[in-house]
Amino acid sequence: MTTQQLRPIVSVFPIKGKVKTIKQVPLPSVFSAPIRPDVVRFVHTNMAKNNRQAHAVSTTAGEQTSATSWGTGRAVARIPRVKGSGTGRSGQAAFGNMCRGGRMYAPKKVWRKWHRKINTNQKRYAVCSAIAATAVTPLVMSRGHRVNKLPELPLVVSDQLQSLTKTRQAVKFLKFIGAYRDVEKVIRTKKTRVGQGKYRNRRHVLRKGPMVVYARNLGIKKAFRNIPGVETASVYTLNLLKLAPGSQMGRFIIWTESAFKLLEDIYGSWEKPSKFKSGFYLPRPVMVNTDVERIIKSDQVQTVLRNRRPRSRKYGKKIQRADPYEDMSVMVKLNPYYKTKLQKQKELDEKNKKERKEIVDKSRKEYEDWLYFSEEEEEEEEEGSDEDREIEVLSDEN
């Protein structure tokens, strides 16, 4: 939009003979307008209200009695009751919306706001969106049009179409170009309307078929008039209600060449305003490039991003570690010296134990020796004098 736009080429087809390109025209800028279903929906719902006819309930409906409430004390509800006697109607409840034959709740008035004003720019925005959508095949198909056999979409056809006068010619053309399948659909699915419209002069319901847009009416209107489902429209007065029926974008449109070219003038572009709508430029999209994924993955973005922060999974999860005093592997992980320490302690303990044992053994031995020695002494000294024995005993003790 801000730069010189490269406009794609669209083929123009003849109306009879062979289906091949006779000419090529550039795609008008309208077809690159932003497709905004929300805008179209808003404008459509409001626009559709504008062809309504006022209706209301009679102002006197349900009020044409002189009913009065009987008040309390009569074992009946306090609703106003019809006066008089001699008829079944007397004493019956009246006036309330809950009463039989009473006035409805909030009787409809004619001065209800039937029509809606829509900002001109919004209307134009919606129409631009709708026109742009007619060139998007998936949208047209999803709207329900049978466009498989078409040579191209948008379908542009030579201006000779505008000069057709006979319906037979028109049908022949539609068949030639591959658009008749859509018409067949319409014919096939003509049904009686569901609901009360059927006996209110709206008996049949038809689908929408192709729409033929022309620049000059040289008979084309009448030629296509009687074909079920087909509508014609002048390019100067494209109606959103026709371009997006039911606020569903993607009507199948057959453009004549001059109508197609005129779109550039009628709707303008982002650089040049419209020639017919004063001061109107094509709406600008919020995003020029809507392929967000591609933008994010592009080199220009990716090279400027900082590196992904490493997810510290190591302490991310709730790790239940075993008690290091019970699980040796955990202990060693935390304190690699632990095993050595235990070993050293063990050695030390053993050493101490050994030393202690030696000491104990030594003292025990000494004691036993003394005991043994003293026993021997006793035996030897059985015959000797008491005095001698005593002395010897004493000396051994020392």
Residue 336 is a binding residue for other proteins (CB under 8 A):
yes
With contacts defined by CB under 8 A, name the span among 12-20, 252-260, 294-302, 353-361 that binds other proteins: 294-302
In the complex, minimum distance from the CB of residue 301 to other proteins, in angstroms, rounded to a whole number: 11
How many residues bind other proteins (CB under 8 A)? The answer is 26
What would the two tokens of residue 44 be? Answer: 């459509």
Residue with smaller CB distance to other proteins, 225 or 341 = 341
CA-CA distance, 202 to 69, in Å (whole number)? 44
Residue with smaller CB distance to other proteins, 288 or 319 = 319
With contacts defined by CB under 8 A, name the span among 141-149, 161-169, 174-182, 336-344 that binds other proteins: 336-344
Give the count of beta carbons closer than 10 Å to the beta carbon of residue 228.
16
Residue 346 is a binding residue for other proteins (CB under 8 A):
no
Residue with smaller CB distance to other proteins, 295 or 391 = 295
Residue with smaller CB distance to other proteins, 104 or 342 = 342
Chain centroid to CA 145:
25
Residue 297 is a binding residue for other proteins (CB under 8 A):
yes
Per DSSP, what are the bridge partners of residue 13?
Answer: 157
In the complex, minimum distance from the CB of residue 305 to other proteins, in angstroms, rounded to a whole number: 9
In the complex, minimum distance from the CB of residue 323 to other proteins, in angstroms, rounded to a whole number: 6
Residue with smaller CB distance to other proteins, 72 or 320 = 320
Residue 308 is a binding residue for other proteins (CB under 8 A):
yes
CB contact at 8 A, 213 and 255: yes
CA distances in angstroms from 151 to 13, 182, 323, 394, listed in the order given: 9, 14, 77, 139
Give the torsion through C-alpha atoms of 287, 119, 132, 51, to 10 deg: 150
Burial call 304-330: b when 16+ CB within 10 Å, e when fewer: eeeeeeeeeeeeeeeeeeeeeeeeeee
Instruction: Kindly write down the DSSP assignment for every residue of 62-123, as one continuous string.
Output: TT-S--EE--SSSSS--SEE---SSSTTTT-B-SSTTSTTPPPSS---TTS-------HHHH
CB contact at 8 A, 108 and 56: yes
In the complex, minimum distance from the CB of residue 344 to other proteins, in angstroms, rounded to a whole number: 8
Contact with other proteins (CB under 8 A) among 307, 329, 385, 398: 307
In the complex, minimum distance from the CB of residue 289 to other proteins, in angstroms, rounded to a whole number: 15
Contact with other proteins (CB under 8 A) among 275, 341, 353, 357: 341
Residue with smaller CB distance to other proteins, 56 or 301 = 301
Residue with smaller CB distance to other proteins, 199 or 315 = 315
Local structure of residue 217 (DSSP, 8 states) = -
Contact with other proteins (CB under 8 A) among 46, 285, 324, 377: 324
Amino acid letter, 216: R
Residue 338 is a binding residue for other proteins (CB under 8 A):
yes
Place of tokens 């101490």: 352
Residue 90 is a binding residue for other proteins (CB under 8 A):
no
In the complex, minimum distance from the CB of residue 341 to other proteins, in angstroms, rounded to a whole number: 6
Considering Cα of 30, then 36, then 37, then 40, what sign does the dihedral take? negative
Spell out the alpha helix ranges (H) of the chain: 37-47, 120-134, 137-143, 167-177, 180-188, 220-225, 240-243, 257-267, 292-297, 299-302, 328-334, 338-380, 386-397
Contact with other proteins (CB under 8 A) among 340, 352, 363, 374: 340
User: Residue numbers of the site for other proteins (CB under 8 A)?
Assistant: 294, 297, 299, 302-303, 307-308, 312, 314-315, 319-321, 323-325, 330-331, 333-338, 340-341
